[in-house]
């Protein structure tokens, strides 16, 4: 134990097991060693330890990391309560009593806070990279489908025709916002907590600016009390994972629907689907279903830790040990989901002609017809009423827009003329869009070019 000298008895074995965090904070091993090396170098720079002692400590720490990486050393969770005590104990084994000088001017409070911000910074960048890779996959599919017609929906009812490219570009926009959230998280951990001590700094002449520079921070944190108890950046990270998973879940829902026989729009590769233990014919989109399902767990991680934080007095409390499990779980779930859904899309096959005939003649161009009336100086509300009456007439007669004649239109309103029938041509429906951000193929191609340049 790092703190056992004032106690007459050892910690109860069940209490040690209950309080141990080694099984999950071992994920911070590299960050803990990185921070410890910077701390040792700073201690030598301000003459608290000698250069020889610094070299011993740094060499020992590197051996510990190498031993972990090659499976030559693994700390026993039955003995150590966390990764910090395990590393320090191993350092004593390697270099003797000099190891005891490493913790000079440092508490586990500022030590773990530093480990966490280093981990968050690294893995926010990793997720940013995965998001960009997924965007590139969607962009590649979009490039070949600017005129692939699919129905656009509101209220899960067919609304207006769009293109597959237009639909996928919507997800690229979502993913870009996800990237911005992780960039925000990175910016929020630009200051180094190391040197804050347990809560009130140190009487030793520590050079916090030097430590910050060695760890590539913009500078030290400004208040030791806040530094050791701040976990806002973890909540920000968990929130970013939650919103990111929500976006993947929405897309997964659509993939699941698109794979059904009723939609018959997409085929997922065998490598991303599973069968049935009973029904030999089944090919199930289980990976998409799992992403949709795991979203709830990621939501739960955010709520769980936010609940932990809500009534903690300053500064550090052991409750904060509960920050790591939801953090690591959300990260692994979200990053795995990104890689899985990217693989699904890279190997998927789209039925590009699926909706060509089905959309041709349905009522999804009703708004276009109302817009035509508006251009004839008819107020939109009146135009809306006219076209609504026309749709009702056609439905009662079991007809659709494909068979519409000028007489059909004029039977509802004399304002219609021959040019109105052009509004019911599905083949030109997308090209007639005039506003930016619409599914007009020219506009979509322009947006694709924008993303190609941005995602290089």
Q: Are 207 and 45 in contact (CB under 8 A)?
A: yes
Cα distance between residue 237 and residue 324, in whole Å:
12
Alpha helices in 162-259 (DSSP H): 164-188, 208-214, 224-229, 232-258
Q: How far apart are CA 83 and CA 100, in angstroms?
A: 16
Residue 276 appears among annotated catalytic residues: yes
* 172 closest CA partner among 150, 143, 147, 148: 143
Say which residues have a Cβ less than 8 Å from residue 426's Cβ, sequence separation at least 6: 149, 161, 356, 359, 360, 361, 365
Residue 161 bridge partners (DSSP):
151
User: In the chain, what are the helix, strand and coil shares in percent, each to the nearest 5?
Assistant: 65, 5, 30
Residue 152 gets which letter from DSSP? E
Q: Which residues pair with 154 in a beta bridge?
A: 157
3-state secondary structure 252-312: HHHHHHHCCCCCCCEECCHHHCECCCCCCCCCECHHHHHHHHHHHHHHHHHHHHHHHHCCC
DSSP state of 25: H
- Candidates 13, 155, 261, 311; catalytic one: 155
In angstroms, the CA 168 to CA 164 distance is 6
Catalytic residue among 19, 50, 74, 276: 276
315 upstream amide cis, omega within 30 of 0: yes
Strand partners, 219: 191
CA distance 263 to 259: 7
| CA dihedral angle for residue 178, residue 180, residue 182, residue 183, rounded to 10 degrees | 160
Looking at the chain, the number of H-run helices and the number of E-run strands are 17, 6
Alpha-carbon distance 206 to 194, whole Å? Answer: 10
Catalytically active residues, by annotation? 155, 276
């Amino acid at each position: 134990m790092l703190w056992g000298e004032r106690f007459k008895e050892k910690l109860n074995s069940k209490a040690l097991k209950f309080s141990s965090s080694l099984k999950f904070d071992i994920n911070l091993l590299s960050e803990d060693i990185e921070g410890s090396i910077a701390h040792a170098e700073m201690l030598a720079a301000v003459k608290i330890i000698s250069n020889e002692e610094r070299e011993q400590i740094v060499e020992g720490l590197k051996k510990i990391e190498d031993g972990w990486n090659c499976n030559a050393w693994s700390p026993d969770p039955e003995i150590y309560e966390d990764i910090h005590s395990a590393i320090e104990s191993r350092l004593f084994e390697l270099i003797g009593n000099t190891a005891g000088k490493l913790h000079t001017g440092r508490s586990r409070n500022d030590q773990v806070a530093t480990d966490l911000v280093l981990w968050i910074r690294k893995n926010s960048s990793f997720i940013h990279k995965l998001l960009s890779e997924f965007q590139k996959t969607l962009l590649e599919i979009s490039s070949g489908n600017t005129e692939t017609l699919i129905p656009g929906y509101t209220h899960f009812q067919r609304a207006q025709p769009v293109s597959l490219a237009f639909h996928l570009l919507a997800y690229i926009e979502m993913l870009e916002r996800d990237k911005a959230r992780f960039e925000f998280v990175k910016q929020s951990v630009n200051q180094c907590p190391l040197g804050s001590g347990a809560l009130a700094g140190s009487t030793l002449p520590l050079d916090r600016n030097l430590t910050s520079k060695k760890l590539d921070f913009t500078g030290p944190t400004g208040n030791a009390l806040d530094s050791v108890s701040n976990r806002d950046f973890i909540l920000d990270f968990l929130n970013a994972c939650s919103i990111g998973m929500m976006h993947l879940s929405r897309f997964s829902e659509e993939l699941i629907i698109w794979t059904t026989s009723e939609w018959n729009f997409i085929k997922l590769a065998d490598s991303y689907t599973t069968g049935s233990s009973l029904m030999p014919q089944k090919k199930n989109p289980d990976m998409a279903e799992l992403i949709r399902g795991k979203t709830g767990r990621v939501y739960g991680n955010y709520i769980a830790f936010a609940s932990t934080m809500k009534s903690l007095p300053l500064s550090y409390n052991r409750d904060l040990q509960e920050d790591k499990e939801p953090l690591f779980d959300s990260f692994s779930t979200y990053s795995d989901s990104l890689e899985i859904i990217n693989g699904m899309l890279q190997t998927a096959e789209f039925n590009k002609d699926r909706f060509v005939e089905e959309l041709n003649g349905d009522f999804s161009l009703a708004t276009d017809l109302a817009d035509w009336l508006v251009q004839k100086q008819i107020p939109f509300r009146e135009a809306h009423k006219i076209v609504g009456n026309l749709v009702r007439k056609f439905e009662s007669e079991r007809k659709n827009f494909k068979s519409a004649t000028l007489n059909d239109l004029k039977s509802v309103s004399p304002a219609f003329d021959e040019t109105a029938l052009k509004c019911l041509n599905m083949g030109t429906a997308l090209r007639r869009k005039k506003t930016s951000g619409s599914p007009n193929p020219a506009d979509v191609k322009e947006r694709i070019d924008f993303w190609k340049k941005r995602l290089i």
